């Protein structure tokens, strides 16, 4: 596990547990204590090296820091009811010993994972707009920075900061973390949680970072959190199984998405022998489980499209007609121009580049793709295949101008060179 992923994961665990101990009204305090523990770890481990059990070290440090806070602010702040009762009992020493036991229970591994789920669902209260819910989950549960959330939303950092401030104020105003057994608005919250995990996986799969073309650890984190949902009976719905299927089928291709130099490879150029067959098998198992009931979601359809790619012996032997039909159905649920763009590319594979170009030029809300580099790249690719290398060069130049990372820039520069050749 990379350092970045480890600290991201541990931060989410600590914030969730400390929020349960301090009370959701003290969310900022829980974040501060978790951050203090992580900063202390970076400082000490840089000098002495990492301990044998980094997680246990962090838990101990967070617990000691939390006890310091409780000792200092026991009369100045209202904490969660259980901790407040302990602090108000006779004798300062006795009350802190009781609080220490409560912290031990909260920081137990099983309790930590339950608290991560509670935090996820607490972030997704119906009074908050979906984009605020998702931003909260990405930061508090997944450990995203403001910059990473901004890239996931294709939004500015200032706008994301405002969303997070608004969401945290609402979260702190609630009485307690959401209890998973409360089925009242569970389904509505589950949808927002799923959406957050979908964005988390996509940030890893289509990384906009200059450091890596693909951020495997983010994909793995989304899959881990989805597995927590599947282990909770109320959350193990057909749509959650479909989301798990989608993640598995895409993750199976992760190792083949780049060459040895870290350059992006198209689906057509990937070496299918490198696809992870165990993940493909698990993807098909989850897809079968998602068929229970009458629910049909975006996740079902996207997973079915990924399944068509996974079962095809080669790019040329892919059932493009089935994929176009699936995109047609998908567009009845979501008119996103990115979905329409992907459908146009599939049409080109089925009927030729000219038909694909017609579909591209008929895209709805095409202005929303003005900063999306793969729109211009699709125009360039199909124009090049249609024989107009000069026009293709212009489209790839536009894609290069909108590239979000070094790997994307290298990819588009390669396509520009193909136009010249």
From the centroid of its chain, how far is CA 275?
22
What are phi and psi for residue 182, nearest 5 degrees?
-85, 105
What integer pLDDT is reported at residue 346 of this predicted model?
Answer: 97
| Alpha-helical regions (H) of 211-297 | 216-230, 238-251, 277-289
What integer pLDDT is reported at residue 130 of this predicted model?
Answer: 82
Query: Burial code of 190-206, b = ≥16 C-beta within 10 A, e = fewer?
Result: bebbbbbbbbbbebbbb
Round to whole Å and give the CA distance between 27 and 234: 26
The first and second tokens of residue 155, run together, are 């939004």
Per-residue pLDDT of the chain (421 residues), as tens digits, is: 456 778 888 888 899 888 888 888 888 888 999 999 999 999 999 888 888 899 889 888 988 888 888 877 665 566 666 666 655 565 555 566 766 777 777 777 767 778 888 899 999 888 888 889 889 988 998 888 888 888 767 678 999 999 999 999 998 888 777 887 766 778 888 988 998 899 889 888 887 665 666 778 788 888 999 999 999 888 999 999 999 999 999 999 999 998 888 888 999 999 999 999 999 999 999 999 999 988 899 999 999 999 999 999 999 999 999 999 999 999 999 988 999 999 999 999 999 999 999 999 999 888 888 889 999 999 999 999 999 999 999 999 999 999 988 888 999 999 999 998 7
For the chain, what is the largest distance between any 2 Cα atoms, rounded to a whole number of angstroms?
85
Q: Could you tell me the pTM of the whole model?
A: 0.84
Round to whole Å and give the CA distance between 306 and 318: 11
CB 130 within 8 A of CB 153: no
CB 160 within 8 A of CB 146: yes
Query: Burial code of 304-337, b = ≥16 C-beta within 10 A, e = fewer?
Result: bbbbbbbebeeeeebebebbbebbeebbeeeeeb
Round to whole Å and give the CA distance between 149 and 133: 12
Residue with tokens 């790249």: 377
**CA-atom Rg of the chain in angstroms:** 24
What integer pLDDT is reported at residue 93 of this predicted model?
Answer: 56
Round to whole Å and give the CA distance between 421 and 417: 6
H/E element holding 115? helix 109-123
Return the domain boundaries, the chain: 1-107, 121-236
What integer pLDDT is reported at residue 1 of this predicted model?
Answer: 47
The conformation of residue 328, written as its DSSP 8-state character, comes to H
Round to whole Å and give the CA distance between 135 and 119: 13
């Amino acid at each position: 596990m990379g350092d970045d992923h480890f600290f991201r994961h541990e931060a989410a665990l600590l914030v969730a547990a400390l929020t349960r101990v301090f009370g959701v009204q003290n969310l900022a305090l829980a974040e501060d204590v978790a951050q203090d523990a992580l900063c202390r770890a970076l400082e000490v481990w840089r000098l002495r090296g990492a301990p044998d059990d980094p997680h246990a070290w962090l838990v101990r440090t967070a617990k000691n820091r939390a006890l310091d806070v409780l000792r200092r602010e026991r009369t100045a702040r209202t904490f969660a009811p259980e901790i407040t009762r302990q602090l108000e009992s006779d004798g300062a020493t006795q009350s802190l010993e009781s609080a220490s036991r409560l912290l031990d229970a909260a920081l137990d591994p099983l309790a930590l994972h339950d608290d991560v789920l509670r935090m996820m669902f607490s972030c997704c209260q119906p009074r908050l707009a979906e984009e605020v819910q998702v931003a909260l989950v990405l930061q508090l549960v997944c450990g995203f920075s403001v910059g990473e959330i901004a890239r996931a939303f294709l939004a500015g950092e200032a706008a994301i900061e405002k969303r997070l401030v608004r969401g945290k104020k609402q979260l702190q105003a609630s009485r307690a973390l959401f209890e998973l057994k409360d089925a009242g608005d569970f389904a509505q919250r589950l949808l927002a949680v799923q959406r957050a995990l979908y964005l988390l996986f996509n940030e890893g799969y289509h990384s906009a970072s200059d450091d890596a073309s693909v951020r495997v650890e983010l994909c793995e984190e989304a899959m881990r959190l989805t597995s927590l949902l599947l282990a909770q009976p109320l959350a193990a719905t057909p749509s959650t199984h479909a989301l798990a299927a989608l993640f598995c089928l895409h993750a199976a291709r992760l190792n083949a998405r780049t060459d040895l130099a870290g350059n992006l490879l198209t689906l057509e150029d990937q070496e299918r022998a490198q696809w992870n067959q165990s993940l493909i098998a698990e993807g098909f198992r989850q897809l079968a489980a998602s068929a229970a009931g009458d629910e049909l979601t975006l996740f079902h359809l996207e997973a079915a499209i990924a399944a068509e790619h996974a079962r095809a012996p080669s790019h040329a032997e892919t059932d493009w007609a089935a994929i176009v039909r699936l995109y047609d159905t998908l567009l009845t649920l979501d008119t996103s121009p990115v979905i329409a763009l992907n459908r146009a590319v599939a049409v080109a594979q089925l009927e030729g580049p000219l038909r694909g170009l017609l579909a591209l030029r008929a895209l709805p809300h095409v202005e929303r793709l003005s900063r999306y580099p793969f729109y211009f790249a699709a125009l360039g690719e199909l124009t090049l295949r249609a024989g107009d290398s000069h026009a293709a060069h212009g489209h790839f130049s536009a894609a290069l101008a909108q590239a979000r990372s070094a790997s994307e820039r290298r990819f588009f520069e390669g396509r520009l060179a193909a136009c010249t050749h």
